[in-house]
Amino acid sequence: MKINVTKSTMPPYEEYIQEISDIWNNRWLSNMGPKHQQLENLLENYMDVPNVSLFTNGHLALENAISALSLSGEVITTPFTFASTTQAIVRNGLTPVFCDVNPNNFTIDTEKIEELITEKTSAIIPVHVFGQICDVEKIEQIAKKHNLKVIYDAAHAFGVKYKGVGVGSYGDISMFSFHATKVFHTIEGGGLTYRDDNLTSKLNSLKNFGQTTSKLVEYTAGNAKMNEFQAAMGIVNLRYVDKYIDDRKKVVKRYEEYLSDKEGIYLLSDQDNVQHNYSYFPVLFDGNVYNRNIVHDELESNGIYTRKYFYPLTSTFDAYDKEFNAQDTPIAKDIADNILVLPLYPELELEDVDKICKLILNLEVR
Ligand SMILES: *Cc1c(COP(=O)(O)O)cnc(C)c1O
């Protein structure tokens, strides 16, 4: 038996074939064709946001968001995230300034943002970690007061709503990833959501070599367009995403039956006023009653593949040549050292969840 940490959802084969047959007829394979247009409209509706702009992947969407807002100098962000967040900042020639996270839900600690603001700060780039949403109201207050832009890395937060509104409506721009392993996918893909309608033409230009509709090149930019086959996958997957999320929720609730309120184990819980997407099932071990590395290795020897995610902190990557210090964000460091993401996907059998939990609970080390 082998259980991976995730398994990509696949819509019915015939439905995808049906969807892409149009492409053979119209020979429009990329460059914002009809599928692309249709998916943007469908997503604006599903995600409950004013605007969606599609990209070839989430990472390039984030790089283009930074570029669209012409950020400069320093950006306040967190190191408890996927490589993409920090890489997007650095690749845009900006300096990441790492803020610690709060221990309750691993998102940016809003009490610690203001002390990091300098005259060089141009933006805050927080992350909705594991689909838990940041304190969006407090962040908006801080950003207004100091005249900063806000871009959310919302890669984990597809379909999440806060107070009945799509979470992508907060901040200046939010980036969603539609990678094969995410709750909703377009094979590879990503999207930016935003309220300001004026951004639409700039984003369309930035993803297409900086060309404007008149083919003049107005911005320094590359190629980040989503193609029609990706968009078709999105159109078909979107029909099933509510069911996928429902099935994920059942798995999460089963895990919770075993692992909630156990000494030495901390789980994330549902947030007030939030409609969650159950994208990941992270477990934080205390290192005392349970040890993360032991649990990881023991499960692996039973054919169960978990993931130390996010570990290590992005601030400690070799690429950044010891420029940053993990000790500056002690809570994030502690979480990275003790976190383990368990298998979660819509088709995961509840009996397998039982088995995984029983194995874990047998691994008390004290
Ligand atoms: C998946 C992910 C990304 C990047 O998305 P891609 O679509 O794979 O480029 C960025 N940030 C986080 C937190 C992610 O999980």
**Span 193-205, pLDDT tens digits:** 999 999 999 999 9
pLDDT-derived band at 215 (thresholds 50, 70, 90) equals confident
CB 264 within 8 A of CB 285: yes
The per-residue DSSP string of 99-139 comes to PPB-TTTSSB-GGGTGGG--TTEEEEE-B-GGGPPP-HHHH
- Residue whose CB lies within 8 A of the most ligand 1 atoms, among 84, 175, 178, for a mutation test: 84
- Ligand 1 center to 177 CA (angstroms): 5
154 lines ligand 1 (CB under 6 A): no
- Ligand 1 center to 27 CA (angstroms): 30
Give the mean model confidence (pLDDT) for residues 50-74.
Answer: 98
The pair of three-digit structure tokens given for residue 176, joined into one six-digit string: 């969603």
Q: Average per-residue pLDDT in the chain?
A: 97
Under DSSP, is residue 280 helix (H, G, I), strand (E, B) or coil? Answer: coil
State the DSSP code for 332.
H
85 lines ligand 1 (CB under 6 A): yes
Under DSSP, is residue 191 helix (H, G, I), strand (E, B) or coil? Answer: strand
CB 343 within 8 A of CB 306: yes
- Closest-lying ligand 1 atom to the alpha carbon of residue 62: 10
State the DSSP code for 220.
-
pLDDT tens digit string along 94-136? 999 999 999 999 999 999 999 999 999 999 999 999 999 999 9
190 lines ligand 1 (CB under 6 A): yes
- Closest-lying ligand 1 atom to the alpha carbon of residue 84: 10
- Ligand 1 center to 54 CA (angstroms): 14
- Ligand 1 center to 285 CA (angstroms): 25
Whether the predicted pLDDT of 366 surpasses 90: no
Whether the predicted pLDDT of 283 surpasses 80: yes
Under DSSP, is residue 165 helix (H, G, I), strand (E, B) or coil? Answer: strand
310 lines ligand 1 (CB under 6 A): no
Phi, psi of 67 (to 5 degrees): -65, -40
pLDDT-derived band at 321 (thresholds 50, 70, 90) equals confident
Output the residue whose Cα is nearest ligand 1's atom 7.
58
> How confident is the model at residue 204, as a pLDDT?
97
| Percent of the chain surpassing pLDDT 90 | 98
Give the mean model confidence (pLDDT) for residues 176-195.
Answer: 98
Note the helical H segments in 132-270: 136-146, 199-206, 228-238, 241-259
Output the residue whose Cα is nearest ligand 1's atom 14.
155
59 lines ligand 1 (CB under 6 A): yes
CB 61 within 8 A of CB 47: no
CB 143 within 8 A of CB 124: yes
Give the mean model confidence (pLDDT) for residues 18-24.
Answer: 97
Distances in whole angstroms, Cα of residue 331 to Cα of each of 26, 109, 129, 134, 328:
54, 10, 14, 16, 9
Q: Rounded CA gap, 212 and 259, in Å?
A: 54
> How confident is the model at residue 118, as a pLDDT?
98
- Closest-lying ligand 1 atom to the alpha carbon of residue 190: 7
130 lines ligand 1 (CB under 6 A): no
CA-CA-CA-CA torsion for 55, 223, 227, 234, nearest 10 degrees?
-10
Whether the predicted pLDDT of 1 surpasses 90: no
Q: Rounded CA gap, 240 and 234, in Å?
A: 10
Whether the predicted pLDDT of 244 surpasses 80: yes
315 lines ligand 1 (CB under 6 A): no
